Amino acid sequence: MEITQRPRRLRGNDVLRKMVREVRMDKSSLIYPMFVREGSNIKEEIPSMPGQYRYSVDRMEEKLTELCDAGVCSVMFFGIPDKKDELGSGAYAQDGIVQKAFRKARQVCPDLYLIGDVCMCEYTSHGHCGVLCGQEVDNDRTLELLAKTAVSQAQAGADMVAPSDMMDGRVAHIRKALDGNGYVNVPIMSYAVKFASSFYGPFRDAAGSAPSFGDRKSYQMDYHNRREAWKEALLDVQEGADILMVKPAMAYGDLIREIKERTHVPVAAYSVSGEYAMVKAAAQSGYIDEELVMCELAVGAYRAGCDIYITYFAEGLAKCMDKGIIG
């Protein structure tokens, strides 16, 4: 049979398949999200996220060391304070839980790249991502507190800050505050395209950050909208964002691709708690192979165009790269 084009020629063996692979992943692009809480000698499993834990600062070292040994060199901290108030003062306190975590991590694992999530929801008594005016989040009053939070994290040792609040103008406000305090070289990874998603449920359980009333749809994005995603991304680039994030990852590959093509900055994708929990639950029920599905989801995000992958599976993915399953 005369067939000139035979794509199967390049699939003949594993060496050849890897040689012509279009998407290549590297451990340096992985970021592990880590929950830290007040207290001592605490390592408590998160019920909705099997295999993930909340750590007290004095127990962080064991996990940070595991990550370093696996080759995961970047961690993003999410704090769980003992006390909350209407202004989320724990977010920007010099002795706040995340600030203490940065200082400890810098001592025990000096080569780790440390990133701070900048938001108010874990720290406010009402669970919303900013200051309230009645039943609404006051965008402009919130900007000042976000800027204070970013500066306090940089002072504590953060290499990068990542605002996740979705307030208008936050990137410019944070950039001005960082620069004004001498942190001109601290990059901003903006949660630029963050949707009001049902995939966040396990995270809210893990961080105790569910809103006490209403929802976050007045500031997080409607997942029906594509052009609004471009608008948000382009505005953040204009305001000084160094990296743009799309969140969640799994159901938003089209937007990862489009943001990648329409901007000139690196693009991150956050594979969120609901994605992790679904894989875990299906694997525990025997419906899927956890390792293979974990890898396939990651490759899908990179294939869509992400340069950076934020995932609770970071350590597992790094080990799969060592095995040659992905990479």
Average pLDDT over residues 287-310: 97
Cα 148 to the chain's mean position, in Å?
20
Q: Which amino acid is at 24?
A: R
Q: In the chain, what percentage of residues exceed pLDDT 70?
A: 98
* Element of type H or E holding 132: strand 132-133
Point out the residues that are catalytic.
194, 247
Is pLDDT of 276 > 80? yes
Is pLDDT of 207 > 80? no
Cα angle 210, 96, 168 (rounded to 5 degrees) comes to 55
Question: What per-residue confidence (pLDDT) applies to 214?
Answer: 61
Question: What per-residue confidence (pLDDT) applies to 109?
Answer: 94
User: pLDDT band at residue 26, thresholds of 50, 70 and 90?
Assistant: very high
Closest-CA residue to 115 (of 157, 75, 67, 60): 75
Task: Determine the Cα–Cα distance for residues 167 and 72; give it in Å rounded to an integer.
Answer: 30
Residues 6+ away with beta carbon under 8 Å from 318: 27, 30, 70, 71, 72
The pLDDT tens digits for 70-90 are 999 999 999 999 999 999 999
Task: Determine the Cα–Cα distance for residues 18 and 265; give it in Å rounded to an integer.
Answer: 27
Inter-CA distances, 224 with 197, 202, 227, 230, 297, Å: 11, 22, 10, 13, 22
Least confident of 79-93, 121-135, 144-158: 121-135
